[in-house]
Homo-oligomer: A and B are copies of this chain.
Amino acid sequence: MDTLPADQIEALRERIRRAGKRATGSRLAALSCLTLAASPLSHGEVMERLEPQGWDRASIFRVLNDLADAKLLRRIDLGDHLWRFELLADEPHGHAEDEHAHFMCVGCGEVQCLPELSLVLPKSAQVPRSVREDAVQVRVLGRCDTCA
């Protein structure tokens, strides 16, 4: 695996600390790996890169989930029952994930915002209150124009 320039490593280190976690080797390794990746990676794909360097499967597994909980990573499911992880942009002000719908390409995993999309349903429809009140996350899965 290539390696990240020292200043980028340092930036990751600070991002981890800002999230209230310790900047450990496995966290930096996982984040570096995902920084270098062009697309979301599964735990297995991350391990293909990190196991040769001696990192432990279970630890990296926990790291990926922890960092996803801490909102440094996005954990996505493209419909094939493999969790994939993607580095999120460093948003100092916290990106409000659920105000708008998201489109996810089941081919490449790319996520795109659909701010203009809205839901309509007849008043008579029997749906949970949260749906009526738009207190829901809407995820639209399909293929993007390049993967179509």
Interface residues of A (CB under 8 A from B): 77, 79-81, 83, 103, 105, 112, 114, 116-122, 125, 127-131, 135-145, 148
Contacts and interface: CB of A to CB of B under 8 A. Distances in A.
Given A77-B81, A136-B142, A137-B79, A125 B117 contact: yes
Given A128-B144, A136-B141, A117 B121 contact: yes
Contacts of A105: 128
A106 to B, nearest CB: 8
26 contacts: A77-B77, A79-B137, A79-B139, A81-B81, A103-B127, A103-B136, A112-B128, A114-B125, A116-B121, A116-B125, A117-B119, A117-B120, A117-B131, A119-B119, A119-B120, A119-B140, A120-B120, A128-B142, A128-B144, A128-B148, A130-B142, A130-B144, A131-B142, A135-B143, A137-B142, A138-B140
